[in-house]
Amino acid sequence: MTSGLPFPRARARRVLAAAALLCLLPACSDESSPEDPVVLVEIVAEDSGLALPGLKVVLLDANTNAPLSGPAVSDASGRCLLGPVAGGRPRLVVFGGPLWAVHHQPDWYGTLLTAGGRPIGFAAPATPNRVTMRPRRRPGTEPRFSGRVVDAVDGRPLGQAFVSLSPWPTGYGGGAETSDDVTGPDGVFTVYDIPVALDRDTGIGYQVLPLVVSRDGYRTIRWTYDPPGGLDYTDVAGLEIPLTPLGPDDSGRLSGRVERDGLPLADLLVGLVAAPTAKGAVGVVGQVARTDVAGRFVFDRLAAGAYVTHPGFLAGDGAWFGAAAAPPVIVDAVTPADAGVLRVLHEIRPARANPSRLAAADTLVTFHWSAVAGAARYVWFLDGDALAESAVESVTVTLPALAPGLHRWQVAALDAGGDAVGYLQNEAWFRRDP
């Protein structure tokens, strides 16, 4: 179990630009019948409430980690329609482009609203699932890579392929980086902020980190652009990334167990990645496992390679794995691999009664969160700094002088010995008015 106080780390996973693809991807491309449930999404700016058009949205099934629908693109009213939804555990993944980061979406700690099929479209009585976005602290810029993802066998473009610098291709809550994208039916992607370094002797650039490209039914790859003469420009277009379909030789198996408070934890989804990361991500597309009553999970049909398991990757699933990520495990087609015992903490949720907007005169404010079994005290953080402690799941604080704009708060739960037993991973926010 992690000991000591886990100071929060600001996590600002970012996402790719989609406005340029508005004409290429239909806002409502999925065929549905009147009785099929669909998900209506409305994307607005957090500060002004204005609609944000041209942003991509994918609906994934967290139970299978595979897309149910999309990507669709928000229209002039900031809305798009995804579906039909038949079972599963639907979760939204919103790509905010170079300018916008996800601020909040309703499925982090709740359930998406669904409505009947296309006949009600965007009109009442359909209830939209509102996603709020905030401006990025640093907009996405060059180096920029763009191109297509294609099938390595027949060359056809592949939709629903995720491209990213991160081992987690997209964000399952909290958004993704500007270096992330998802392809539409044309297979096209654009990613920003690709790290490029210059050779001291030649002055020619080279790509520092590989792109991780993942699609359901295909081998996840790490791809690097390495032209013979090196990179001498920062806007690279016309790239083609081939993915190989999974085959009979992709038969690796990886298992392990999950515990919390020293006991097996059942019915928890476990993600699969290629390196450690934080909660809020998708991982290898099409791969997810669920723990049984003994806390055991199993992944099958794995291509040979190194993998990292990540229990509790969904916002709101009650578990937090944090920085104490599991080490990589080598998987081959012959010998089953063992990830060992993975220990998670309790995930803390912010309460609905918390303030989201404070006037300049509001200085004495109370914040609430969910209780954690075994917690002796809670430490409350503001913008990354520990500011107060409480013996219960709320705290009343005198806020320091704060600049107008957004401020984030987090909570860590500690037991009587000072060890962490719970953590609020997805930051809670409030806006300080001028």
Q: What pLDDT, in 10s, does the model give residues 48-103?
A: 999 999 999 999 888 888 899 989 999 999 999 998 887 778 889 899 889 998 88
Residue 6 pLDDT > 70: no
Whether residue 87 lies inside any domain: the answer is no
Q: Considering the chain, what percentage of its residues have pLDDT values greater than 90?
A: 44
Whether residue 8 lies inside any domain: the answer is no
Residue 313 pLDDT > 50: yes
Whether residue 127 lies inside any domain: the answer is no
Whether residue 202 lies inside any domain: the answer is yes
Residue 202 pLDDT > 70: yes
- Would you call 228 exposed, middle or buried from its count of C-beta atoms within 10 A (0-12, 13-18, 19+)? exposed
- State how far the Cα of 382 lies from the Cα of 2, in Å rounded to an integer: 22
Q: Read off the DSSP letter of residue 54.
A: S
Residues 238 and 257 in one domain: no
CA 10 to chain centre: 14
Taking the model in full, what pTM does it have? 0.80
Q: Which two tokens stand for residue 383?
A: 């913008």
Last residue of a domain, one of 318, 347, 376: 347
Residues 186 and 272 in one domain: no
Residues 379 and 422 in one domain: yes
Whether residue 58 lies inside any domain: the answer is no
pLDDT given at position 196:
86
Whether residue 27 lies inside any domain: the answer is no
Average of per-residue pLDDT values in the chain:
82
Q: Which two tokens stand for residue 363?
A: 């200085």
Whether residue 330 lies inside any domain: the answer is yes
What is the domain count for the chain? Answer: 3
The residue segments making up the domain with residue 404 are 357-432
- State how far the Cα of 424 lies from the Cα of 350, in Å rounded to an integer: 8
Residue 181 pLDDT > 80: yes
> Amino acid letter at 28?
C
Last residue of a domain, one of 243, 275, 297: 243
Span of 147-151, 231-235, 276-280, 368-372 with lowest mean pLDDT: 276-280
- State how far the Cα of 434 lies from the Cα of 135, in Å rounded to an integer: 18
**Which residue did the predictor score with more confidence, 404 or 10?**
404
pLDDT digits (tens, 9 = 90+) for 372-424: 999 999 999 999 999 999 999 999 999 998 999 999 999 999 999 999 999 98
Whether residue 151 lies inside any domain: the answer is yes
